[in-house]
Amino acid sequence: MFIKIKKIIFFVFGITFLILGVLGYILPGLPGTIFLIISASFFVRSSTKMYNYVVNNRYFGNIVRTYFETKAMPVKAKFFALGSIILFSCISLIWAPYNWVFDIIIICFAVIGVFYILRVKTLK
């Protein structure tokens, strides 16, 4: 019983991150690849069919599959990810009409994202 509930929860999270990942390829500022990797991680534990859909997709499957096989990112993807984090964080800090608490949260997330990207191995 518990295993079935766990699979359902993982499937729901997988679908949620799949939607966010696809939106990330359409909307500027929203990362797509990381959400697809997270989605595949949930699907590998809940649905073989959906996992195969993510890693074999003709648009983004190669990136996700390469990450799972090598645990590394291409240099171009690293530069794009770091540039996007910095650019959109700065835009949020400059133009968002919120107080300093919002700024601290944005800075924290940006720093975490930058350190994560820098920590991932570079694909040669």
- Read off φ and ψ for residue 33, nearest 5 degrees: -65, -45
| Domain range enclosing 124 | 72-124
Same domain, 79 and 57: no
Same-domain status, 88 and 60? no
**Cα gap 16→27, rounded to integer Å:** 16
Query: Which of these three, 53, 70, 87, is where a domain ends?
Result: 70
Whole-number pLDDT of residue 52:
94
| 3-class state of residue 46 by DSSP | coil
Number of domains present in the structure of the chain: 2
Summarised one tens digit per residue, pLDDT across range 51-65 is 999 999 998 888 899
pLDDT digits (tens, 9 = 90+) for 88-97: 889 888 887 8
Predicted local confidence at residue 116, as pLDDT: 85
Do 57 and 14 have their domain in common?
yes
The answer to whether residue 39 scores a pLDDT higher than 90 is yes
> What's the rounded mean pLDDT across residues 38-51?
94
DSSP assignment of 80-116: HHHHHHHHHHHHHHHH----HHHHHHHHHHHHHHHHH
Q: Of the ranges 10-24, 68-82, 102-116, which is most confident?
A: 10-24
User: In which band, very low, low, confident or very high, does the pLDDT at 81 lie, cut at 50, 70 and 90?
Assistant: confident
